Structure 1
Amino acid sequence: MPIRNLKDGSDLPWISDIRPNGRDGKRIRKRFATKGEAIAYESFILRKVDDKPWLGEKTDLRNLSELIKLWYDLHGQQLAQPKSRLRKLELTCFGLGDPVASKLTINDFAHYRQMRLDGEIEDFQGKKTKVKPNTINHEHAYLNAVFTELKRLGEWTLPNPLEGLPQFKIEDTELAYLYPEEIPIVLDECRNAEYEHLVTIVMVCLATGCRWSEAENLKGSQIAHNRITFVKTKGKKNRTVPIAQELANMLPRVRGPLFRPCRRSFERAIKRTGLIFPEGQMTHILRHTFASHFMMNGGNILVLKQILGHADIKDTMRYAHFAPDHLDDAITKNPISSIL
């Protein structure tokens, strides 16, 4: 990486290591007390090279942070959660040392992601935390999207520096769901919770397959004729799901927000049940429960795709194995079926 921390205990741990005139040009190495000084020095050296017209076309000397800001202004702020995406990109940029974007290479990012996995990269507060490969894949995808979109907009003419670098392969995670006998246990604890509408939110999730945030943020205007219309969804498309009259009667009769944030209350209720869910699926297990039971009860996979609001059928196919007759041919068409 052009700028890195040698961690050798010296007063000048940060080193700038660059070849401003390319791989065959002179190598310039200099040590500094802080990362900021190293970044400033590298920018100074590269600008000196850029000011020499006989070297040909001017080099794009924009730092990665400048491109991220440009991407955000032209495209990123239109995303569903723009501030969150920007924050993650800024953290990645900080970890990479905010290099000159045209100098960023696959090798730089490969070293960065390994250091992230090992917990050697500091965040904005100077804290080092090990992350999982899935987190790295998200950072990879987000940064790749910056270059791809800027290239589409004509704001970036050089090759995408991450092109050709594959993401980590991630094993499929367990899609846990509630068994029929567990659902009443969960609902009973939610009824006994400190928030009276907690059980209603849980029942909306179980009855429609919506995400927790979609149920928690419901407004009265989204309820009509025993149907719930979910808006501002992850896929940025509204979808409407019918509900039973009994559930419709449980919903508060107000025009504005129906509920208050109560995720913590749900977590405490689940803790009281003694049930153990896979990591990261505390509230999402309700969505998995709807989809799993929908297929086990003979539901159509294409209908499920519409209800869940998936943009890609591959996401919905994760639940296909719950269908009653899924792969039943394995029983009758295996080589020992005739002797069993």
Structure 2
Amino acid sequence: MFAEYRAKRINTGIKPSTLNREQSYLRAAFNECIRLDHWKKENPLSKLRAFKVQESELSFLNLDQIAILIERLATSKNSHVLMVSRVCLSTGARWGEAEGLRVSQIQNGLIQFVKTKSSKARSVPITADFEKALLNHFEEHGTGERLFATAYSSFREAIKATNLKLSDGQLTHILRHSFASHFMMNGGNILALQKLLGHYSLTMTMRYAHLSPDHLEEARRLNPIALLGR
């Protein structure tokens, strides 16, 4: 029944990745019913294969593009959008994690992110200068415990004004991709990146592994043509 439903949905133009998520949600629901002893049979989706999905392009901003974006954000009427963006670029935080920061989450050169997508708290180090800038921003613009007010629409306006080309479905997430990409290009460790991003699985973080300079250098040195000296 689900396979037939899935076939009808794919024919209407629904993306395979969306249907794979629906399948995983329903499979998880059956697994929970089995655990609670409400379902006595085998999980009906356990043997149904998910669609193979071509991995999408992983785009990020180079340093010149980041400089252009920061310059534009600095002129925004929204007093928070620049600092929220800097948090994302400095820590790899998701926009919602950065925008919802409270002053108590900034201590001793660390930002602690809580209520994350993976449900696990994580701490990311920042420079002393940036910590001071965040605390100064809180003193001037903070409300209650919160450092920032909503700034999403202002970020969207800045991206539009700079004419930066983003992949489909990306907006604020380009900041997180940019952090991770530059981290790896500058010699960062993939396991450390997994912890910084808060990925539950290393598989998700491995999307950035190909950017490692060690990886690229090995490709130059260890291919058969190079070894033959041709």
Is the shorter-chain TM-score for this pair beyond 0.5, marking a shared fold?
Answer: yes
What do the CA deviations read for 1:26-63 (whole angstroms, capped 9, x no partner)? xxxxxxxxxxxxxxxxxxxxxxxxxxxxxxxxxxxxxx
1:185 match: 68
1:250 match: 133
Cα distance, 1:310 vs. partner? 1.3
Determine the C-alpha separation between the residues in 1 that align with 2:225 and 2:21. 45
2:29 match: 146
What do the CA deviations read for 1:92-139 (whole angstroms, capped 9, x no partner)? xxxxxxxxxxxxxxxx111111211223xxxxxxxxxx4211111111
Determine the C-alpha separation between the residues in 2 that align with 1:134 and 1:213. 23
Determine the C-alpha separation between the residues in 2 that align with 1:335 and 1:301. 26
Change (3 A) 1:332 1:227: closer
Amino acid in structure 1 at the alignment position of 2:94 = R
1:116 match: 9
Matched, 1:194 2:77: yes
What do the CA deviations read for 1:274-321 (whole angstroms, capped 9, x no partner)? 111001111111111111111111111111111111121111111111
Cα distance, 1:335 vs. partner? 3.4
Determine the C-alpha separation between the residues in 2 that align with 1:226 and 1:333. 41
TM-score, structure 2 length as denominator? Answer: 0.92
Determine the C-alpha separation between the residues in 2 that align with 1:135 and 1:216. 27
Cα distance, 1:327 vs. partner? 4.7
Cα distance, 1:228 vs. partner? 0.7
Gaps of 5+ in 2: none
**Greater helix share, 1 or 2?**
2
Determine the C-alpha separation between the residues in 1 that align with 2:179 and 2:194. 12
Amino acid in structure 1 at the alignment position of 2:2 = F
Determine the C-alpha separation between the residues in 2 that align with 1:327 and 1:178. 19
Deviates more, 1:240-249 or 1:170-179: 240-249
Amino acid in structure 2 at the alignment position of 1:166 = R
2:214 match: 325
Matched, 1:228 2:94: no
User: What aligned pairs does 1:1-340 form with structure 2 within 5 A after superposition?
Assistant: 108-119=1-12, 130-251=13-134, 252-253=138-139, 254=142, 255-337=144-226, 338-340=228-230
Gaps of 5+ in 1: 1-107, 120-129
Q: Percent identity?
A: 47
Cα distance, 1:339 vs. partner? 4.2
Provide the aligned C-alpha RMSD in A.
1.5
Change (3 A) 1:159 1:264: same
Determine the C-alpha separation between the residues in 2 that align with 1:277 and 1:213. 19
Determine the C-alpha separation between the residues in 2 that align with 1:268 and 1:258. 21
Determine the C-alpha separation between the residues in 2 that align with 1:114 and 1:258. 47
How many residues align? The count is 223
